[in-house]
Structure 1
Amino acid sequence: MPVEAWTTVFVIISFILYLYIGWRSRVKDSKGFFVADQGVPAIANGAATAADWMSAASFISMAGIISFLGYDGSIYLMGWTGGFVLLALLLAPYLRKFGKYTVPDFVGDRYYSNVARLVAVVAAIFVSLTYVAGQMRGVGIVFSRFLQVDIGTGVLIGMIIVAFFAVLGGMKGITWTQVAQYTVLIIAYLIPAAAIAWTLTGNPFPQLAFAGSDIVDKLNQVQVDLGFSEYTKPFANKSQLDVLLTTIALMVGTAGLPHVIVRFYTVKSPRAARYSAGWALLFIALLYTTAPALSAFARYNLIDNLHNKTTTEIQQLDWAKKWENTKLLAFSDKDNNGKIELKPDKEKNEIKIDRDIIVLSTPEVANLPPWIIALVAAGGLAAALSTASGLLLVISSSIAHDVYYRLINPGASEPQRVMVGRIMVGFAIAIAGYFGVNPPGFVAQVVAFAFGLAAASFFPVIVLGIFDKRTNREGAIAGMIVGLIFTTIYIAGVKFYGMSPWFFGVSPEGIGSIGMVLNFIVTLVVSRLTPPPPLAVQEMVEFLRSPEDGVPALADIGEDELD
């Protein structure tokens, strides 16, 4: 069967599985909708967390950007994996012990402030919408190439599938669907990587093939011969400062992502939260230790297949013609010598490759069997849809739980709260679909922006909320606003309005680190210049870090102390 037929089979089978799980996991109460009844086993939550966190950026785009940047692309590996360790050890158990449904819930109660809650809601929605744009683009790319439909149609199909299991099952449906999606995506990532490693080096283990063969030396030599820097040369594409700040932004941004944090609310206890974090790290490592090898193999294969080929030879490559149709791959014989050449000079370069097609196209470039090519497509969809569903629920719960129930209608019944949550999922999907068709950048870049925004808004107030009982509502509100506004203006100015990276040349992906520092400084300074939190809040913070279970209620806080 051709690739398109295999893809159709895999996509239909996987989508039927997701729809079935969503139907079986449908819920009627708010606890099931928002935190899956807090009864998910640790290992299942670990797999769901891995799928939730390893988005289209990890599956589709990360290896692509490493393939383009070489050594400097390792910022994504270091930042994202290091950030998850930070989250697992520093934040997850305490947030689970706090026992709330959402990050704005924690911020609102810890800082005894509805204003703080609203600022956190705005930040959660802003971060989630930025993040989900990358997921929808990933869905569109997969459908565009492998089912030969336009990106807009592909995004629409993905929206319908996500809407079904997110609206029906809420967090419970999303959790068990993500367990299945993790299984699909990790199989789809490892099988092609192993096949390519075997083809190029004779070793089926990508990590060992990458470290123990001469393929990287060959790639370095090819790069130099073509006029590029060596693939493994450090700081060839980014300055040391930018590499450092981007890595930090990705790391602390991971620890501040609301859709990942909320996963630790779905387990039975703080102990289970720690175990599920350990399982998630193991599941994540399977992909992240494979990505550097796949990146190098993909670049080597692409150069070998495309560079210095005649236009006639290029036209005979079926996979190249199909990717050209998506407008994500383009060829232009600029010097009219009858050959297509890869050149470091962007003006003279004759091969344009979108970074987001590297992983998806690599099995075709390596001439692997059609079923493996189709499996990668199904894995890319699983990665994008799993994260998109988690992000959509964050947007839904931020409005339905933290605004509607907490602020507008505290007496809302269970059916009312769930209905508002489902309606908000629908609105969020529509917005996500628009950004999927009209994305502000390639997948990993868009997601990196979201990490920067999370680093600048949530991370400081969560850390200080757990470990500094003197931090008060005035400090938290001021810190979040300053961090979020500064980071947003810098990213938007540099990315969309032609502003030069004025802060020592730091890229938009790395500026979240500076926003985080500003947030910490403003929060601490303002907190020390204003009255301390109520005694009940300080006692709650002390108890939050104790080995006992449960957190005391804030009933001792008077109404006059809430803004």
Structure 2
Amino acid sequence: MDQYTLNLLVVGATFALYIGIAIWARAGSTSEFYAAGRGVHPVMNGMATGADWMSAASFISMAGLIAFGGYDSSAYLMGWTGGYVLLAMLLAPYLRKFGKFTVPEFIGDRFYSNTARMVAVVCLIVASVTYVIGQMTGVGVAFSRFLEVSNDTGLYIGAAIVFVYAVLGGMKGITYTQVAQYIVLITAYTIPAVFISLQLTGNPIPGLGLFSEHGATGQPLLQTLEATLKDLGFNAYTERNDTTLNMFLFTMSLMIGTAGLPHVIVRFFTVPRVADARSSAGWALVFIAILYLTAPAVGAMARLNIMTTMWPNGVSGEAVSLEDIQTKDELSWVRNWEVTGLLKFEDKNGDGQIQYYNDASADMQALATERGWQGNELTTFNRDILVLANPEIAGLPGWVLALVAAGGLAAALSTAAGLLLAISSAISHDLIKGAVNPNISERGELMAARIAMAIAIAVATYLGLNPPGFAAQTVALAFGIAAASLFPAILLGIFSKRINNKGAIAGMLAGLLVTVVYIFLHKGWFFIPDTNSFSDSDPLLLSIKSTSFGAVGALINFAVAYVVSNATEEPPEEIQDLVESIRIPKGAGAATGH
């Protein structure tokens, strides 16, 4: 069976499974559409949360970031994982105890203000829409490579699948579909990693293989990688290049941005009890850890494989030849990905070989002059292809390649569905029922939710087909917005009785505006003279990059909320009692008489 047919069968089987689950778990009420009827088992919810949280960024992009960023990219591991722990410990149980359906509903009730609720709706929609663009674009890329259709056609197919199980099932259908998607994505991620770890080190556990002896050199794999990078003029894998301030702020931005993402928070509204919210948080961390403990090994091993592909006999020998790339089966992955435009090479000096090295390194420039090289000839290597191409680079069986294709699509579709549900819930429950038509019937609200979901899918598909000029930075913008606007409001709403509606609204608006303006100025998206020259290596403020500014925006949010609240009247007594009831278990202190 050829690879295309195998890919089609495996991906088609997973899609049929998702649609079958959606039909079985069709939502029949608003409670089922928004919160799966609050009847999801903690283990199932933990698995669904893992799929919802581990987007295409985790499955497709993170290993590539680690592979080429080394030590500096460890911030992604610390930030995203730490953010989930923050969410599980500080927010999820209390929000479940509050008993509402959406994050804006919590903010509106806690701060006794429909205006606060509408501001939260705006923050949620902006953050979720920017985040979903990357997921839909990832669907198109995966389809175009593995099912040999155009990027646009792939997007339409992915949107149609999400439409069926999200519009039909709502949170109920999405939850059980995400359980299946988690199984698919984690299997697709770990099986190639096990194979590659065995190939390179003989150790079947990738996380341990990272520190085992490399079979070809007899040295530890990381030491082999460090030496190879040094030979080619690249920075050492374990060397830090970013500033301490920026790394700290970037990690914090990812952490609190993760904790403030509404599509993850609402997962904890689906369990029967507060204790189940805590339990499902623990299970989710276990399921997430399986991928996150594997990703560093995948990144390091893939980077080593790429360099040894380009230099089969080391830099002292000859680079891979154009003839080998065109004829040898083990190099077919280069030909396959070259067609997508995500990998390109150019024989600049006409010697029939592809020299891959850091041509900005002074040491390599001297060597290049000596050997007649004219610059790095692997001109494009999109880091997002790393996980998808890894099985091909390692020469793994065709069924593994098909499984990886299904896994990449599962990761993108699961998060896209969660984001789209958060958007549609905000429109139908918070905007329509909360402000426009409070007397709408349950049947009418359910229909409005389904229509809002369909419109959200259409908008997400359009943006995926026609991404804005800043599409490459949408994930950073989404995390920055969530960190600077929603997270402080939720945290203060749970743990401070003094923060009132005026403070919460002022804080959210201040954090949102400052963060968006900084990112847009930094990236030159306002088309202001002299700003288009700025880049992340040329920060506007100290050494703070645009991707790190969410943490600063959050601090501004906290400060403004505190100052405004203390300058105005205290919240009503019933609101203060509500806050206390959320944080303190019923009957606490009875045994001691306090």
- 2:282 is equivalent to residue 278 of structure 1: yes
Tell me if the contact between 2:201 and 2:212 (Cα under 8 Å) persists in the aligned partners.
no
Q: What residue ranges of structure 1 are gaps of 5+ in the alignment?
A: 550-563
- 2:534 is equivalent to residue 503 of structure 1: no
Partner residue of 1:432 out of 437, 460, 468:
460
Partner residue of 2:522 out of 494, 515, 526:
494
- 2:483 is equivalent to residue 463 of structure 1: no
Q: Tell me the equivalent position of 1:341.
A: 355
Q: Deviations over 1:48-80 (max 9, x none)?
A: 000000000000110011111011111110000
Partner residue of 2:390 out of 346, 352, 362:
362
Tell me if the contact between 1:440 and 1:446 (Cα under 8 Å) persists in the aligned partners.
no
Counterpart code for 1:166: A
Q: Tell me the equivalent position of 1:103.
A: 103
Q: TM-score, normalised by structure 1?
A: 0.95
- 2:342 is equivalent to residue 331 of structure 1: no
2 CA distance for matches of 1:358 and 1:440?
A: 24
- 2:410 is equivalent to residue 404 of structure 1: no
2 CA distance for matches of 1:222 and 1:361?
A: 21
Q: What residue ranges of structure 2 are gaps of 5+ in the alignment?
A: 214-219, 312-318, 361-373, 526-531, 588-594
2 CA distance for matches of 1:343 and 1:449?
A: 32
Q: Tell me the equivalent position of 2:232.
A: 226
1 CA distance for matches of 2:221 and 2:470?
A: 28
Q: How far apart are residue 442 of structure 1 and its match?
A: 10
- 2:560 is equivalent to residue 534 of structure 1: no
2 CA distance for matches of 1:210 and 1:441?
A: 38
- 2:327 is equivalent to residue 309 of structure 1: no
Counterpart code for 2:326: Q
**Alignment length (residue pairs):** 547
Counterpart code for 1:337: D
Q: Tell me the equivalent position of 1:555.
A: none
- 2:488 is equivalent to residue 477 of structure 1: no
SS for the counterpart of 2:344 is strand
Q: How far apart are residue 269 of structure 1 and its match?
A: 1.0
Q: Tell me the equivalent position of 1:29.
A: 29
Seen in structure 2, the aligned counterparts of structure 1 residues 209 and 441 have a Cα distance that, compared at 3 Å, is farther
Counterpart code for 2:112: Y
Q: How far apart are residue 436 of structure 1 and its match?
A: 2.2
2 CA distance for matches of 1:444 and 1:259?
A: 21
SS for the counterpart of 1:510 is helix
Q: Deviations over 1:150-185 (max 9, x none)?
A: 211111111000010000010000000000000111
Tell me if the contact between 2:55 and 2:412 (Cα under 8 Å) persists in the aligned partners.
yes
Seen in structure 2, the aligned counterparts of structure 1 residues 415 and 163 have a Cα distance that, compared at 3 Å, is same
Q: Tell me the equivalent position of 1:135.
A: 135
Counterpart code for 2:145: R
Q: TM-score, normalised by structure 2?
A: 0.90
For the pair shown, the structure with the greater C-alpha radius of gyration is 2
Q: Deviations over 1:4-56 (max 9, x none)?
A: 22211111100000000001111121111111101111000000000000000
Alignment of 1:174-323 (within 5 A): 174-213=174-213, 214-235=220-241, 238-307=242-311, 308-316=319-327, 317-323=331-337
Q: Tell me the equivalent position of 1:559.
A: none
1 CA distance for matches of 2:200 and 2:4?
A: 26
Counterpart code for 1:278: G
2 CA distance for matches of 1:338 and 1:232?
A: 33
Tell me if the contact between 1:216 and 1:296 (Cα under 8 Å) persists in the aligned partners.
yes
Q: How far apart are residue 85 of structure 1 and its match?
A: 0.6
1 CA distance for matches of 2:463 and 2:63?
A: 23
Alignment of 1:548-559 (within 5 A): 548=586
2 CA distance for matches of 1:130 and 1:389?
A: 14
Tell me if the contact between 1:137 and 1:443 (Cα under 8 Å) persists in the aligned partners.
no
- 2:377 is equivalent to residue 350 of structure 1: yes
Q: How far apart are residue 414 of structure 1 and its match?
A: 1.3
126-135 or 426-435: which moved more?
426-435
2 CA distance for matches of 1:3 and 1:448?
A: 35
2 CA distance for matches of 1:399 and 1:324?
A: 42
- 2:544 is equivalent to residue 544 of structure 1: no
Q: How far apart are residue 441 of structure 1 and its match?
A: 8.3
- 2:58 is equivalent to residue 20 of structure 1: no
Q: Tell me the equivalent position of 2:149.
A: 149
2 CA distance for matches of 1:442 and 1:369?
A: 37
RMSD: 1.6
Q: How far apart are residue 81 of structure 1 and its match?
A: 0.5
